[in-house]
Amino acid sequence: MSPLSSSLLNPRLSFSLKPLFLFSQSSFAPRKFQIPRQFVSAKRKTFSALASEQSSATNNCGRSGGGGRSGAISPSSVVEEVQRIDVNPPKGTRDFPPEDMRLRTWLFNHFREVSRLFGFEEVDYPVLESEALFIRKAGEEIRDQLYCFEDRGNRRVALRPELTPSLARLVIQKGKSLSLPLKWFAIGQCWRYERMTRGRRREHYQWNMDILGLPEVTAEAELISSIVAFFKRIGITESDVGFKVSSRKVLQEVLRCYSVPENLFGKVCIIIDKIEKIPIDEIKRELNATGLSEEAIEELLQVLSIKSLTKLEEILGGAGEAVADLKELFSLAEKFGYSEWIQFDASVVRGLAYYTGIVFEGFDRQGKLRAICGGGRYDRLLSTFGGDDVPACGFGFGDAVIVELLKEKGLLPELNLEVDNIVCALDYDLQGVAAEVATKLREKGQSVDLVLESKPLKWVFKRAARTNAQRLVLVGNTEWQKGMVGVKILSSGEQYEIKLDELE
């Protein structure tokens, strides 16, 4: 917070208002003076008296002259104590001025259009949820980073760190009224109270697509296909991005051999997910602390290093589900046409406790960026909330890393404001006519930047250039007397007069 600045130390220049000191007695008073109670009990004039002496108003109630449109309150007469606020958004959050918003809209439109092409329906949930929805016991990073607080009704609430638990909640709520399989997508803001590092913020938007009600790997194949379709639309190729794919069942089958009880499964996955972030000895120590023997840990790490499905099959055998699922996924990838995008990598486990089967993540082949997106199967999430389980899988795709990738590849789109028309009156008296012209054009579906003040033509052309207006429509007296307006096509310079009714 910046310190209190006194009114005198803080010169506030009005942009275009000529100050007119309506409150001549108080406008220069110190900002923080105390108003004595009942100080205004002496009435000057009644309104009935006022009305009758209207024309000769020279007392405090009359206009102090000057008149015109400029007479707002002087900026220095602002009443509350002025505390210069921090003009930046809170740490880790973003403003979206027009240029950034255009990029966000462009990105979200692609998310939406791809989801539509795949027949998914859009949903959303509250950004503020009960904290209980996100509290899992597997030691996930996401839990430590929860933006949680107590509301005024003493409820523990949290800004959602992800969308999947809300999806699960809604699906349980809707129960049998839903037709399976569900294909839902959402684009929602998520929050994590992270230590700020380069490129990591505390909020981001996440595109989620989820399929519920399908135990078949076709669901995972379809989801990856939709991400590939998205990448292709925005110019990203298989030489830029790949998907590492594995299955949590690989780990499960290993752990089963060491009789590790299933209730440790989530916890073990969360530890393993940190392999690239913390030293291997620390990983081993944490695994050991859960109860795994050193031999089991060594075997586990050995399996995690496998990058070939054939090799995995040699180790686990062909009868297991892990291998069968993965083989089917790779076979489907070929039919969907994205074989070049995916590769088996046993080290992928993902950082969420609830995954049970196939897991995948999109990665930058240059290795410069963090995971671009990630997802997997979570067949048992609903029962952790007390609901009936439904086979489910989905992915999350953030809005941050993809923008970094587009920058890296020189693929950021050039997005400009573009209006169809700029409409301008040549005299302020014709402002009403310009409004009429603008209304007519807008009713025909044309966008209009209406010039709402008297400005020289030079200014108008400059503005037209900034807004990329296609056409300038000028309302002048001579033309308007004939019911006509002047038109200039700004790309070609072509100029003509036209009846307003004929303007399309």
Report the Cα–Cα distance between both ends of the chain, in Å, rounded.
53
**List of residues 6+ apart from 149 with CB closer than 8 A:** 156, 157, 158
CA distances, 431 to each of 178, 428, 443, 462, 475 (Å): 55, 5, 18, 20, 9
Helix pair angle (309-316, 321-336), 10° resolution: 160
Is 125 marked as a binding-site residue?
no
Among 140, 162, 203, 361, binds a copy of itself (CB under 8 A): 203
Distance from C-alpha of 214 to C-alpha of 387, rounded to nearest angstrom: 17
Interacting residues with a copy of itself between 2 and 41 (CB under 8 A):
2, 5, 10, 12-17, 22-23, 25-27, 29, 35-41
Among 197, 198, 281, 319, binds a copy of itself (CB under 8 A): 319
Shorter beta-carbon distance to a copy of itself: residue 133 or 349? 133
Angle at 446 between CA 440 and CA 447, to 5 degrees: 105
Closest alpha carbon to 329 in 260, 377, 270, 265:
377
- Write out the DSSP string of 310-343: HHHHHHH-SSSHHHHHHHHHHHHHHHHT-GGGEE
Strands 448-450 vs 373-377: parallel, antiparallel or unpaired: unpaired
Is 25 marked as a binding-site residue?
no
**Residue 285: both structure tokens together:** 């120590």
**Residue 156: both structure tokens together:** 């523990």
Tokens 């790309």 correspond to what residue? 491
Is 436 marked as a binding-site residue?
no
491 belongs to the binding site for a copy of itself (CB under 8 A): no
CB of 141 to a copy of itself, least distance (A): 14
The interface region with a copy of itself, picked from 71-79, 237-245, 269-277, 494-502 by CB under 8 A, is 71-79
CB of 372 to a copy of itself, least distance (A): 21
CA distances, 183 to each of 77, 134, 217 (Å): 58, 23, 15
- Give the CA dihedral 333, 399, 266, 210, nearest 10 degrees: -50
CB of 367 to a copy of itself, least distance (A): 29
Among 335, 365, 370, 499, binds a copy of itself (CB under 8 A): 335
Is 420 marked as a binding-site residue?
no
Is 162 marked as a binding-site residue?
yes
Is 163 marked as a binding-site residue?
yes
**List of residues 6+ apart from 280 with CB closer than 8 A:** 301
Interacting residues with a copy of itself between 395 and 454 (CB under 8 A):
417, 419, 422, 431-433, 435-436, 439, 442-443, 445-450, 452-453
Among 389, 403, 487, 490, binds a copy of itself (CB under 8 A): 389
337 belongs to the binding site for a copy of itself (CB under 8 A): yes
Shorter beta-carbon distance to a copy of itself: residue 263 or 491? 263
Shorter beta-carbon distance to a copy of itself: residue 379 or 408? 379
Interacting residues with a copy of itself between 130 and 189 (CB under 8 A):
130, 132-133, 136-138, 147, 149-153, 155, 157, 159, 166, 169-170, 172-174, 179-181, 183-184, 189
Q: Is residue 346 within 8 Å of 315, Cβ to Cβ? A: no
Is 343 marked as a binding-site residue?
no
Closest alpha carbon to 184 in 116, 122, 113, 108:
122
Interacting residues with a copy of itself between 296 and 315 (CB under 8 A):
296, 299, 302-303, 314-315
197 belongs to the binding site for a copy of itself (CB under 8 A): no
Is 124 marked as a binding-site residue?
no
Is 354 marked as a binding-site residue?
yes
Interacting residues with a copy of itself between 212 and 271 (CB under 8 A):
213-219, 221-222, 225, 229, 252-254, 256-266
**Residue 206: both structure tokens together:** 């996440």
**List of residues 6+ apart from 31 with CB closer than 8 A:** 6, 7, 78, 79, 80, 81, 82
83 belongs to the binding site for a copy of itself (CB under 8 A): yes
Shorter beta-carbon distance to a copy of itself: residue 108 or 275? 108
- Which residues does the annotation place in the binding site? 162-164, 192, 206, 210, 350, 354-355
- Which residues does the annotation place in the binding site for L-histidine? 162-164, 192, 206, 210, 350, 354-355
